[in-house]
Chain A
Amino acid sequence: MVTGAVPGGDTRAVPAGSGDPHRHLSALAGWRGFTAAATAPPRLLAGDRYAALGSDARAAYDEERLDYHTRLGVVGTSVLRQVVTTGRRLTLLNRHAISARRGLILSGAAGTGKTTAITQLGKTHEATDRARHPGMDRIPVIYLTVPPAATPRMLAMEFARFLGLPALPRANMTDIIEAVCGVAIDMRVSMVLVDEIHNMQLATRSGAEVSDTLKYFSERIPATFVYAGIDLERQGLFTGIRGRQIAGRFTLIPTLSFPLADEWRGLVATLEDALRLHRHPPGTLAGLDRYLHQRTGGMIGSLSCLIRGAAIEAILAGTEQITRKLLEAIDLDHAAQQETAPGTPAARRAPAARQ
């Protein structure tokens, strides 16, 4: 299932092809661009027509394919499907809730597809909302990332920044929160996605205050809150009084590295099907599934990065096919490089090396 285009990984994803610094996913314009984007794969020219292209036309054609391979769509993993169905169920459950709304937490190692899953959930929700209320100016989804060493004010400013509310001098915390909640209610926000929640350390005082602020936002804004972060169970997100309240209201979906099983082979085959290379024999990557698993430690983010990197190399070098030799030449992220044996607990304990 190739539904759209977003690069995997836990860094802030930017829609490709946009040089505007304000088009981050964590700003309304960037988010709207992302949810409206539907990239069709470019048509592959027949061999003789490709050979007959002039140098300019060939450069343009290759550029289009390079652009396509930098994103290469989203693969529908079992976790992604679970997140989307659970998220939809919770939004319906929360529709008439007046307090104690239910939420969703995604927790797992870096590179297991958390950001991809929650952004796809947001995209699905936004599409549903647009279909239900066509032509109306609504903001159904807010997406933000918790800044490192966050304070409550920084968190409130992230909300304000997404909505496009300027940082007014002399505005205090209460003013910012009032503006955010007022606009969120007026614009019918019904889902709030909070990424990088591991930046909120409940053990520290400012972290606890950030948690309380987030809790306050969730009381004021009638929306389903979805959190994603690295290894949240181990970080003490569910301990203490605050933790117990979070644990009592949120469904936890763990994202794990994939075992070398049928689903992994399916993922590799889907990614291979999405390739648009001229001389790539179908089934090559499917045959290399064990090698790919060993290379990436079963991380979907690393797999996607590896195959996309190899595809771009293949276009730039003109070989137009992905071989094991080419794959070996691609450097991977530190977490995946450290993997020696697939499926070891080390895969789930991987430190935040990709941050």
Chain B
Amino acid sequence: MTEPAAPPPAAPLPIRPRPASGESTASYIRRLAVANHLRPVHLRRYLKDPGNDDGIRLSWLAILAGRPVTSLQHALAGQLLPPGDVPARNRLPGARQQKPSRAGMPALAPRNAREHGLPARSAIRPLPLCCSFCSKDKGSVARLVAGPGVCICNECIDQCTQTLATKAMPEIAAWHERPNDELLASLPRLQAVALQVDADMQDRVDTLRDRGVSWARIGAAFGVSRQAAWMRFSGEDRP
């Protein structure tokens, strides 16, 4: 089925959020749509370049955003490459810190992010990355190794290596025997890990969607319906 040819935009959108430096094009289009109460999927489809399956019409996006094409290219740098050219999201685990979208993005407090019209999931994303074991952020440790959604720092790795070498487990009380204060203190650390995993999952689903993988297949991978997958990851049910 072919879409009727849509006319190019005549004027900039009434509400024009600024692109965050290093932000992905998909994320910027989503924010632009949400700020103007448009459905993100409609705007994405409207901007899609019919000649190129993965490309978007950058000149149209520039008109809608009320910014010159060059400024968009600058802000959304590295994200406008065709997906064949190593998309930033698809690098091996461990190379995470070099990603421009994480390292270059200013850490936004959740409330601040909501004011900027970021989807709720990005708003609660913990920045910067931290060790899933000791909660130290990557600035306060020498190395941080990333896995799927989780990270570990060199200090925790050393401790693990020692534990395995001595073959004697250190004496640590099981969590339900610990005092209240200690349990309460552990909750934000656990939450930070969960959010980090969530954010990674969202990134992977976004990439799959950008590549045209259907919600049905994504849902099947999670063992849920396509509707459930859409509700969880599309970001379109939120106001």
Give me the interface of A with B, judged by CB distance under 8 Å: 22, 27-29, 139, 161, 163-171, 175, 178-179, 181-183, 186-187
Contact = CB atoms under 8 A, between A and B. Distances in A.
A175 B39 contact: yes
B92 interface: no
B13 interface: yes
A178 B11 CA distance: 19
A154 B39 CA distance: 19
Contacts of B37: 178-179, 181-183, 186
27 contacts: A27-B10, A28-B11, A29-B11, A164-B10, A164-B12, A165-B14, A165-B38, A166-B13, A166-B46, A166-B64, A168-B39, A168-B42, A168-B43, A168-B46, A169-B3, A169-B46, A170-B45, A171-B39, A175-B38, A175-B39, A179-B36, A179-B37, A181-B37, A182-B37, A183-B37, A186-B37, A187-B15
Nearest to A187: B14
A164 B42 contact: no
Contacts of A179: 36-38
Contacts of B7: 167
Most central of B9, B14, B36, B38 by chain A CB within 10 Å: B14
Contacts of A161: 10
Contacts of B6: 166-169
A171 B10 CA distance: 17
Interface string B94-105: 000000000000
9 closest A-B pairs (Cβ-Cβ)?
A: A182-B37, A164-B11, A168-B42, A179-B37, A166-B9, A163-B14, A168-B46, A169-B6, A183-B14
Contacts of A165: 13-14, 36, 38
Interface in B8-32: 9-15
Contacts of B14: 28, 139, 163-165, 183, 187
B11 A22 contact: yes
Contacts of B64: 166
A107 to B, nearest CB: 31
A167 B42 CA distance: 10
B4 interface: yes
Contacts of B36: 165, 179, 182-183
Interface in B62-88: 64
Contacts of A164: 9-14
Contacts of B38: 165, 168, 171, 175, 179
A113 B7 CA distance: 35
A27 B11 contact: yes
Nearest to B239: A182
Given A27-B11, A164-B10, A187-B15, A169 B39 contact: no
Contacts of B12: 164
Given A165-B38, A183-B14, 6 more contacts: A22-B10, A164-B9, A164-B14, A166-B13, A168-B39, A169-B4
Contacts of B11: 22, 27-29, 164
Interface string B36-64: 11110011011000000000000000001
Contact of B42 (A22, A29, A175, A182): A175
A169 to B, nearest CB: 5
Contacts of A163: 14
Interface in B109-153: none
B47 to A, nearest CB: 10
A164 B32 CA distance: 13
Nearest to B117: A186
Contacts of A168: 6, 38-39, 42-43, 45-46
A178 B39 CA distance: 10
Given A22-B10, A164-B10, A169 B42 contact: yes
B212 to A, nearest CB: 17
A111 B7 CA distance: 35
A250 B12 CA distance: 34
A236 to B, nearest CB: 35
Nearest to A28: B11
